A and B are shown apart, each in its own frame.
Chain A
Amino acid sequence: MDKVIILRYSEIHLKGKNRAFFENILKRNITEKLRGTECKTEFGYGRYVVGGYAESSERAICKKLSEIFGLHSLSTALRTSAGIDDIAEAATKISEKKGRFRVTVNRADKTLPYTSVMLAAEIGGRLLDAYPELEVDLHTPDFVIYVDVRSSETAYIYSSSIPCAGGMPVGTAGKGLCLLSGGIDSPVAAYMMAKRGLELTEIHFWSYPYTSLEAKEKVIELAHILRKYTGKTRLIVIPFTEIQEAIHKYAEPNYMITLVRRAMMRIAEKTAEKYGLGCIINGEDLGQVASQTLESITVTNSVIRNIPVFRPLIGFDKEEIIAAAKKIGTYETSIKPFEDCCTVFLPESPATKPTIRRSEASEKKIENYDELIRKAVENAEIIPIDGE
């Protein structure tokens, strides 16, 4: 008898002929996540199991596994042979000592000398013998003992399940570039798109000396927190100072933010092309601030030519975003009070209804605009986000 963790995957079981593609990436992500942890992964048909670990590390392993997109839930279980005595012993070990219970049996191997109902009754009887304060209740039990008999050699006995991150395995939906400002929203946007299977690269615009080293450190920290879900990734830090200074010098003051965001989107698209990334992700939600009105989004989006821009938070309330940020663990870092590039040269009253025509007219006044954009992309700093 040994302790194991049973993994169940989420949407993948809906897939047809290409199911192997999704399964292989999920297996790779599980292996990658558990690298450096002493344990053994077994990928059977429709049943993934982790075993061979020290009991003291079970909790940490479960925590790691629960962060993998593509897994629906997991259970810590006892693995025995399919012999009734072994199964009963395991069930006795994991059972509560009093309360109402039922035994649910799933029997994959139909050649075994008992039916599911017979086995459930037998195990239930033995549990009642062991713990007289137990009571059988098939309809509203306090707890359920699950017995999953795979073959004559293998049965799993467990009682509860821990929900996992759900979604699709990272890497099954292609690659994307996520804008990471350091605020509350963008890490949540990154999380949501990674959950749909996108492999992410993150991009941050850094305006030293107008923003600090600490602001950059904060974004690196956020990327490391997100790494739990995204797997290893990289952070592209764009030197943005010259562009901001140029925009500030030539643009109408109330168009400052509009033009800064247009420049960011241009740089993002060029960076995505350079690294073969198929989409841009940002944390905009409609109407939250001046730069996120329908008109502002229209004007900033209009500079993108070839790839889609995903805004997974577009319909969220701020409270919902904050709740999500707290759940994924980025909130406390996001609220550290270091200025990001969006607050530099902030005008008194930014345009809430900018137009493409006026934005383009302003941009024409900026000397060497295209060259500045090209240089920013070229001089980016690439920070690998791997290791714990």
Chain B
Amino acid sequence: MIYLDNAATTRILPCATEKIIRFADKEYFNPSAGYAPAIAVRHEIDRSAEVIASMLGADADEIVFTSCATESNNYALSCGIKNKKGNIVVSASEHASVYECAMRLRSRGTEVRFVDPDKTGHVTPESVAAATDRNTAFVSVIHCSNETGTVNDISGISAAVRAVSPTAVIHSDGVQAFAKIRTDMHTLGVDLYSVSAHKVGGLKGVGALFIRRGLNMQPFIAGGGQQSGRRSGTENVCGITSFSAAAAEYAKAAETFDAHSLRKIFTDRFGGRADVLVNGCGILSGYILSLSFKGLKGEIIAHGMEDRGILIGLGSACSTHVKANRTLGAMGVGKDFAEGSVRISFSPATTRAEAETAAEALEEVTDELHRKTGR
């Protein structure tokens, strides 16, 4: 089997599994308890926060662990909006967990302004600035698109927003960027940043939210006061400790992994064809490739690939069942192409040979489908 849906989830790294077993089997103590073995567990959580923080160029006390990046995004959009009368600016190419929160705010009377990406898939500082005014209370722009892999200029966006609305809280969803590209919070200039464990070799059900020191955030989940009262609920020790182990190892592997060259195997094969669109260009992470085949359906292409032992995605796995692809639609991709979209995503474990086999199979599958479904 060749697995090329790493933007949906990744295989858990052995170093993470080791942590999971250790804290499930031996050091299973509640980190809030007062006895020595429990305190040792608490220290492990602190160390995990330090690891994640250092990868974000932040301090450990700026990290709050959550149950997933969807929770992180919900936390940001629920508690990060200080000026309740202000407007919020959100890019149209956000993950569903940000987009749906924005839609909910809109239904409750908040003015929500959506900023479309340009044809290359980027949300530009200029377009965000154009939507921002003095009353803008909150801005959220995805760092790396989960659909196309385009990387937005978050530091440029932060600067542009602050020039117009200095008090606006700026959030970025960094799930597809974290451990893959540079994610330094001071450079990016954001107040809030969401990350997820299972996209970088960790366990599903763990995420984190960077909260800039000094930003006063009410807790999203109240209760026993864990994580300095910012996120109550007994910490997911297995999840958190394995998250930091996996993230560190993934980032190390990413340093020597050339995702762009794997992506190029596909773009070389399909780039020149009039019936295929390579969605997104310019600054890219390289880990995600979105292709649209005119007149075909993404789901059927994916079945054809699965029959050849190759697993690929259809765009965000969280929104596979939403009829139209929102991000591609906002980029101006027509329906005849958008319906035939597939997402291929790599991890440092992906080999060149796998990518070559998959690219060849993709051409065979789509050619065969054209033959069968064309008249």
Contact = CB atoms under 8 A, between A and B. Distances in A.
A209 B375 contact: no
B304 A245 contact: no
A248 B321 contact: no
Nearest to A241: B372
Contacts of A345: 373
A209 B323 contact: no
A207 to B, nearest CB: 10
Interface in B314-360: 321, 323
Given A248-B373, A248-B375, A210 B300 contact: yes
A271 to B, nearest CB: 25
B25 interface: no
A209 B304 contact: yes
A288 to B, nearest CB: 21
B303 A212 contact: yes
A253 B299 contact: no
Interface residues on B, range: 10 to 19
A341 to B, nearest CB: 12
Contacts of B372: 245, 248-249
A337 B319 CA distance: 11
B307 interface: yes
Given A209-B304, A209-B307, A212-B299, A249 B375 contact: yes
A295 interface: no
B303 A208 contact: yes
A157 B204 CA distance: 55
Contacts of A248: 372-373, 375
A339 B303 CA distance: 13
A209 B373 contact: no
A256 B85 CA distance: 55
Contacts of B375: 248-249, 253
Given A248-B373, A253-B375, A209 B321 contact: no
A339 B373 contact: no
B304 A337 contact: no
Contacts of B303: 208-210, 212
A208 B307 CA distance: 10
B347 to A, nearest CB: 24
Interface in A243-289: 245, 248-249, 253
Nearest to B372: A245
Interface string A301-333: 000000000000000000000000000000000
Contacts of A208: 303
B373 A337 contact: no
Contacts of B299: 212, 339
Interface string B228-244: 00000000000000000
Nearest to B321: A337
Nearest to B304: A209
Contact of B323 (A212, A336, A337): A337
Contacts of A339: 299
Interface string B286-306: 000000000001011001101
A25 to B, nearest CB: 42
Contacts of B304: 209
A209 B372 CA distance: 12
B336 to A, nearest CB: 13
Interface string B354-375: 0000000000000000001101
Contacts of A245: 372
A336 B307 CA distance: 24
Interface in B260-298: 297
Nearest to B322: A337
Contacts of A209: 300, 303-304, 306-307
A339 B323 CA distance: 11
B308 to A, nearest CB: 11
Nearest to A337: B321
Nearest to A213: B303
Interface string A178-209: 00000000000000000000000000000011
A212 B301 CA distance: 11
A183 B11 CA distance: 35
Contacts of A249: 372, 375
Contacts of A210: 297, 300, 303
Highest count of chain B CB atoms <10 Å: which of A209, A249, A337 = A209
A309 B61 CA distance: 70
A308 to B, nearest CB: 36
A336 to B, nearest CB: 8
A210 B298 CA distance: 10
A210 B296 CA distance: 10
A204 B300 CA distance: 19
A343 to B, nearest CB: 10
A253 B306 CA distance: 29
Contacts of A336: 321
A336 B322 CA distance: 11
Nearest to A245: B372
Nearest to B306: A209
Contacts of B306: 209
A65 to B, nearest CB: 36
A336 B297 CA distance: 18
A338 B300 CA distance: 12
Contacts of B373: 248, 345
Contacts of B300: 209-210
Contacts of A253: 375
Contacts of B307: 209
Nearest to A212: B299
B369 to A, nearest CB: 8
A336 B304 CA distance: 22
Contacts of A338: 321
A358 B321 CA distance: 37
A345 B372 CA distance: 11
Contacts of B297: 210
A322 B373 CA distance: 33
14 contacts: A208-B303, A209-B304, A209-B307, A212-B299, A248-B373, A248-B375, A249-B372, A249-B375, A253-B375, A336-B321, A337-B321, A337-B323, A338-B321, A339-B299
Q: Which 5 A-B pairs have the closest CB atoms?
A: A209-B303, A337-B321, A209-B300, A209-B304, A245-B372
Given A337-B323, A345-B373, 13 more contacts: A208-B303, A209-B300, A209-B306, A210-B297, A210-B300, A212-B299, A212-B303, A248-B372, A248-B375, A249-B375, A253-B375, A336-B321, A337-B321
